[in-house]
A and B are shown apart, each in its own frame.
Chain A
Amino acid sequence: MTFKNITNCLSIIVLSLMFALPVMASTEHSESHEEEKFNVSEMIMHHIKDAHEWHLWGGHGNSTSIYLPIILVDEGLHVFSASHFYHGEHRSAVDSKTGEKVDYVAGVGPAAAYAMFHEKIYKMEHGELHFEEGHVHGAVKPLDLSLTRNVAFMLIASLILVLIMFSVAKYYRKNGAVSPKGIAKFIEPLIVFVRDDIAKEHINEHKYQRYLPYILTVFFFILICNLLGSVPLIGTNLTGNITVTMFLAVCTLLLTVLSGNKAYWKHIFWPPGVPIALMPIMIPLEIIGIFTKPFALMIRLFANITAGHIIVLALVSIIFINKNLGWAGLSVPMTLFISVLELLVAFLQAYLFALLSALFIGAAVEEHHH
């Protein structure tokens, strides 16, 4: 059976990518600081940004993480475990403009030529990095195709999505067009909802079928990433990453622009019912409008999901800021409330992204009758 093969292949690919390299959970003991002050914004920023490790628990001196494989394209392919950075050499440099001390990590072993600063990998010159105004100066940044936490999360989420959808498809393949049971009973209303209320409603009746696979995929991809993103330990801020939302928005933009018909372009380059004197203003506005719509899509998803993660983490941090378990009485109910709200937001944002994509595409393919 073809789809079983594909499922197997996918799981093998993911597993081998994750475990073929010397990836292992380890506990890191650094030199004993006095109890470090809990830095909320650093912790939150660390969570919502991408990383080369999958941090599970623990703080600065004593943390447990899964080190993910690093893939660098720098005159050939360099593949090694991220532990060569996280267990690398801690170094300091002096900022050449501000004179402040900046800490970075130089790699060891196969990562010896590289250094990591704020999760970015740089190629060191003469064994060190130079800093100017808090930024790395002059160092080459090799193309970093690492399986970062976001990538690993995306692979897991996609795998789960594929498994769910394949089992639904299998159900129908086995039983024919009967009323659904089991997981198909849960998924089918969602698919019908996307088809009827999102695609069919906003895209021309005869053309929506061409765009339906994209809209369905976008909807379910965002939905499953949002939902899994709220789960402790595996939760990752993937749909709150500007790169991911940008890619999805660019897909919508390309679909809109490439499927735009004559009426659509005429509407942009010669808006009907506008006095000629206003054309020099209207035409640039319309052209900018092509890009601002998907841009808003990108920002909306990014900001909503990131904000959700920040709020949940900030509320949990109340306990740690006050260093008193009693604050859990305030923190836990509020976190629960926000988490439930995030559940709604997860659906709402997936719906909105799919809906607005359908709306933009629909406007591009609509037959105008003036």
Chain B
Amino acid sequence: MWGSVAAIGAGLAVLGAGIGIGRIGGSAVEGIARNPEASGKITSTMIIAAALIEGVALFGVVVGLLGANQ
């Protein structure tokens, strides 16, 4: 029972992160398309932002993991 709830929670966390990282990636591509010279800077900034969001998503997954073990 708790395992299923935890799995849903983890899924929701991943959903949010997916939307967030998707938006970052889309905006980065747009930015690079507009200004190809800045692609290096945009890429590294994109990776940092994506990593920060991913970190939050992983918190969710880990909390889910904790819940699954209850």
Consider the complex of A and B and state whether they touch directly, i.e. have CB atoms less than 8 Å apart. Answer: yes
Name the residue of chain B whose CB is nearest to the CB of A301: B58
Mark A277-304 against chain B: 1 for CB-CB distance below 8 A, else 0: 0000000000000000000110110111
From A142-150, A157-165, A216-224, A351-359, the one touching the partner chain is: A351-359
Contact A356 B62, CB 8 Å, known A296-B55, A300-B54: no
Mark B17-28 against chain A: 1 for CB-CB distance below 8 A, else 0: 000000000000
B8 within 8 A of partner (CB):
no
Docked Cα-Cα span, A352 to B48, in Å, equals 7
Q: Is the CB of A303 within 8 A of B61?
A: yes
Q: Is the CB of B51 within 8 A of A299?
A: no
Counting residue pairs across A and B whose Cβ atoms lie within 8 Å, the total is 33
Q: Is the CB of B48 within 8 A of A299?
A: no
Pick from B47, B56, B59, B62: contact of A352, CB below 8 A: B47
Contact A299 B44, CB 8 Å, known A352-B51, A356-B51: no
Q: How far is the CB of A342 from chain B (nearest CB, A)?
A: 16
Which A residues lie within 8 Å of B58 (CB)? 296, 299-300, 303-304
Docked Cα-Cα span, A352 to B51, in Å, equals 7
Q: Is the CB of B62 within 8 A of A355?
A: no
B52 within 8 A of partner (CB):
yes
Which A residues lie within 8 Å of B44 (CB)? 197, 201, 355
Docked Cα-Cα span, A101 to B44, in Å, equals 54
Which B residues lie within 8 Å of A303 (CB)? 58, 61-62
Which B residues lie within 8 Å of A201 (CB)? 44
Name the residue of chain A whose CB is nearest to the CB of B56: A296
37-60 of chain B: CB within 8 A of chain A: 44, 47-48, 51-52, 54-56, 58-59
Name the residue of chain A whose CB is nearest to the CB of B51: A352
346-370 of chain A: CB within 8 A of chain B: 348, 351-352, 355-356, 359
Which A residues lie within 8 Å of B51 (CB)? 300, 352, 355-356
Which of the four size classes fits the interface of chain B? 10 to 19
Q: Is the CB of B52 within 8 A of A296?
A: yes
Name the residue of chain A whose CB is nearest to the CB of B57: A303
Task: Tell me how many residues of A have a C-beta within 8 Å of chain B.
Answer: 15
Pick from A297, A299, A355, A359: contact of B59, CB below 8 A: A299
Which A residues lie within 8 Å of B56 (CB)? 296
Which B residues lie within 8 Å of A297 (CB)? 55
Q: How far is the CB of A41 from chain B (nearest CB, A)?
A: 11
Docked Cα-Cα span, A303 to B62, in Å, equals 8
Name the residue of chain A whose CB is nearest to the CB of B54: A300
Q: How far is the CB of B32 from chain A (nearest CB, A)?
A: 17
Which A residues lie within 8 Å of B59 (CB)? 296, 299
Which B residues lie within 8 Å of A299 (CB)? 55, 58-59, 62
Q: How far is the CB of A97 from chain B (nearest CB, A)?
A: 15
Docked Cα-Cα span, A300 to B56, in Å, equals 9
Which B residues lie within 8 Å of A356 (CB)? 48, 51
Which B residues lie within 8 Å of A296 (CB)? 52, 55-56, 58-59
Docked Cα-Cα span, A18 to B10, in Å, equals 40
Which B residues lie within 8 Å of A302 (CB)? 62
Which A residues lie within 8 Å of B52 (CB)? 296
Docked Cα-Cα span, A142 to B61, in Å, equals 32
Pick from A197, A300, A351: contact of B55, CB below 8 A: A300
Mark A6-42 against chain B: 1 for CB-CB distance below 8 A, else 0: 0000000000000000000000000000000000000
Docked Cα-Cα span, A355 to B47, in Å, equals 10
User: Would you list 10 pairs from A and B whose C-beta atoms are within 8 A, ordered by A residue?
Assistant: A299-B55, A299-B58, A299-B59, A300-B51, A300-B58, A303-B62, A304-B58, A348-B47, A355-B44, A359-B48
Chain B residues at the A interface, C-beta cutoff of 8 Å: 44, 47-48, 51-52, 54-56, 58-59, 61-62
Given contacts A296-B59, A299-B55, 12 further A-B contacts (CB under 8 A): A296-B52, A296-B55, A296-B56, A296-B58, A297-B55, A299-B62, A300-B54, A300-B55, A352-B47, A355-B44, A356-B51, A359-B48
